[in-house]
A and B are shown apart, each in its own frame.
Chain A
Amino acid sequence: MSVSALSRAPSSRRVLLIALSALLIALVLGMEQLAPLFRALFPDQDPAMYQRESFLNLTLAHLALVLVSSLISVSVGVAAGLFVTRPAGREFEPLVSTLAAIGQTFPPAAVLAIVVPIAGFGFVPTLVALVLYGLLPVVQNTVAGLGTVPSQTLEAARGNGMSAWQILWRIELPLAMRVIIAGVRVSVIINIGTATIGSTVGAKTLGTPIIAGLVGNNLPYVIQGAVLVGLLAIVTDLAFERLEQRFSFGASGAAS
């Protein structure tokens, strides 16, 4: 019974993932088709449809920002997590954890305020804010994930003649991968949402119609941007959920 329950649950999540992805793509490409709907709902708004930029361009710019910032967060975060779990770097663990925590405590808006005078407007300050903000979950989960590898497993790996590199690549990273990916998932989801505020300093994102709507008191703009950001976050989350399941080896069940 438990077997069938296990095999059924992911398949319904899969259907959900496919359906929402389809909806997201349809909205990105065909938001204009909904113009009559928005006009009917908001008869007093004159342009009831954001048209200064295509939603496709906004979405691609948004994705590029999230992708680049996440790539940097993940590489730096995983590297830092690996470093502080090696014998050579163990004493730096408290320092790295604190730095990552500071990065997350800083509100992204404050980071923008600091970075804009240095780096100017647009893509770069937003990127810096997102990288700092997304670092903590990656570092934390890398350290935690590597910590879940049982010491007997490591001893067996050493006792069977694996070198430190072989133990890292063949044993530690695969076993920690599920927890590390969970950290990346949190980091990416946060960044998808947070990237919208980059539009306050001139970065082109899905936040652009939202900010324009807020400034110009145009609720349809806000809805059009927010729906796409929300959908993007949900679809990404579901995709990561599937990715995490690939790295489940029943290790947690066997530990009991």
Chain B
Amino acid sequence: MSPIAVDNSAIAVPTPTKGPALAIGSLSTAQNGRYQTLVTELQASRDVEKQMLDRIIDGATTLPKTQYSSVHIILAPAEYQDILPKSSSLFSQLFSALAPLGTIHLKDAPSHSQVTTELTLAGFNVLTPATTPTIMAQRPAHAPAVSLKKLPLRKKADPSAKKALWTLSTPGTPSIDSETLLTESDRARPCEPITNTGAPRRKKACKNCSCGLAELEAEELKQSKVVMLDGSESGETREVSQEERQKIINSAPKVTSSCGSCYLGDAFRCAGCPYLGLPAFKPGEKIQIDMSMDDF
């Protein structure tokens, strides 16, 4: 299963996707130039395919499946009202044209909750409140297995017959072999356990660095201010220059921290912190790193 989650926060846009986009306009937004502006904006960062709304609704064109990273619709407010009756089939077409986690953007859509409801019923995950000028929704990583309708208010059949079938058990009824229920893919284990994303992280420069990272770090260090932790005074931190730092260190060796976070604990320490693995401590407290810790 993919560890990628659906970012569902109200304002935040999911990781910008630069895959192919589909831009859908109408006669009126093409005439007033708003459609062209949208297409130009999008083209700056990705491939854009253009479509007119009528052609999709009339079935004059068939959209490819799981093709686009995003779909952008720009219509006049009145046109949004007009398409509402047909929006169910429109949205499900667009849903299947989007790649999983792809997004749909409806520009200048009226604050009409019916649009968002229709999006939800088509399987989208609505990301923006209904009142913003652009409605944004996302195709979830897990697609609903069926297209869903609202729950019927009442069950259709008389439940007693089914109840009898379910609860009355004839002694000696054979059971099915539950293993036959599984498909080949059910039997397979996930190929590789997901233990790490393997995303590159910034490393510290090696001792004999030749790639330039050491110089970069040296430059950063020169420019940086230093925070001294000083428990003997007020327990507060203060910024000093590198020069002053050396003086202070030479006169009274204390715990120093170039980021001011070391004493807060692992959660706030950087990847190269020498205190990693130790509990949080008080500023100024003398910390000893025991290198011979193995008691095996």
* Co-complex (A, B): no
